Amino acid sequence: MSESEDSEFASELETALIEEFDADEETAAAAAEKAAAFREEYREDLTVAEVTDRLADGSYDSFEHRFDYTVGNLAAAVEDCTDSREFRLAGFGDLAADPEQGA
């Protein structure tokens, strides 16, 4: 996957998140970046439509929770992805182990 394809995906997704889900620009940019990273690492065939369709079916009121839930669902379908927290807006959280520890 080329860098321009990743950039195009992120840009298109960011616009969709703002227009369709009323995400603020900063949150939409962060979410699009995280989705693009997930796409690059695990699902090169992931489309903007697939992300937005899953977000539309989300059962959480806040955009952030809906996005994190969506990322978790996408990751659950990928056998090699055992931890999706790095791709979620909430990240690893205060109580999570440092992923760089011991590296």
62, 44 contact by CB (below 8 A): no
Q: Which sequence spans correspond to the domains of the chain? A: 3-87
Reported confidence tier of residue 59, pLDDT bands at 50, 70, 90: confident
Q: What is the mean pLDDT of residues 67-90?
A: 92
- The two tokens of residue 95 are 């109580």
Query: What pLDDT does residue 57 have?
Result: 81
Express each pLDDT in 8-17 by its tens digit: 999 999 999 9
pTM: 0.83
- pLDDT at residue 30 is higher than 70: yes
**CA–CA dist 17, 24 (Å, integer):** 8
Distances (CA, A) of 93 to 5, 9, 63, 88, 89: 30, 27, 18, 10, 10
Query: What pLDDT does residue 61 have?
Result: 83
Radius of gyration of the chain (CA): 13
Residue 68 CB coordination number (10 Å): 22
